Amino acid sequence: MCGRFSLRLDHAEIQQLNGYEASIDDWERRDDFVPRFNIAPHTQAPVIRRRDHSKNELIMSSMKWGIVPHFAKFQDKSLNTTNARAENLVDGGGIWGSIKGPKRCAVVCQGYYEWLTKGKNKLPHFVKPKDGRLMLMAGLYDSVVLQDRKETLWTFTIVTTAANSEMSWLHDRQPVILSTSESLNTWLDTSSQKWNQDLVKLVAPTKIPLECYQVPKEVGKVGTESPTFIEPVASRKDGIQALFAKQKQAQASPKKAVKRTLSPVDDDEIEFDGPPPPKKAEK
């Protein structure tokens, strides 16, 4: 699954879409998106879609994460539509049946977060492209005017598939990633407004060069923001690499006498400079 992702770049850099053969001249509701390290469901994020089914013109749109279907009269907050399973798109219709053909989009991010279950603990990890490009995740979108509001509500969901062999250690699901310009164009081509076999192949698990590492647990709290959320825990000042560096520095510096009362290790592991402590006189 995918329940959190990051996109903390300025609007101009996002719209350039470096690394992909795609031209985006317009961004609908641009000011609705606020760049964040910690984007959670029910917040705004940018997606790429065709302006018109019959034309190849791409636009970027800010939309709310979590599909509210076009036939809804009110927003049902108990309905979890942040992800759409690829298997459900392939096998049948349901809530996705009317939009999987004409309303496909690509969700823009720097990478996504996933939690590794280790015993009773859940450890957050950040997954991003190895080449440093933006990550484009396959998505679906919809629009509706609810009875309790006048404006059109635009929403999206992220399509997930079974995790490939390289990522299955982290979680059994992962987003469908559009890693090439060809796959992006195939997914966004809604000219037929139908689902087809090319799309079936596109949502199947594939191996894509990704980088993954553990990040701070604080990212799990919705609303928190920090640049450390997309940095490896091991490289932080309080991380493992910093600990090894301190140990190396300590070994290089002159040794000082160590007091027994301040050491957390066993007595036989303590190294003393100078003479050993005097033995107690035997009675």
Tell me which residue has tokens 């190895």.
Answer: 130
Q: How far apart are CA 40 and CA 42, in angstroms?
A: 7
Quote the pTM value.
0.82
pLDDT value for 77? 78
Taking alpha carbons only, the member of 119, 121, 110 closest to residue 231 is 110
pLDDT value for 261? 39
pLDDT value for 225? 97
pLDDT value for 282? 47
C-beta separation of 64 from 143 below 8 A: no
pLDDT value for 83? 97
Listed as ranges, residues in the chain with pLDDT below 50 are 240-245, 247, 255-283
pLDDT value for 70? 94
Q: What's the CATH code, domain 5-226? A: 3.90.1680.10
Residues 6+ apart with CB under 8 A from 142: 67, 68, 69, 70, 99, 103, 154, 155, 156
What value does the CA radius of gyration of the chain take, rounded to a whole number of Å? Answer: 25
pLDDT value for 47? 99
pLDDT value for 236? 67
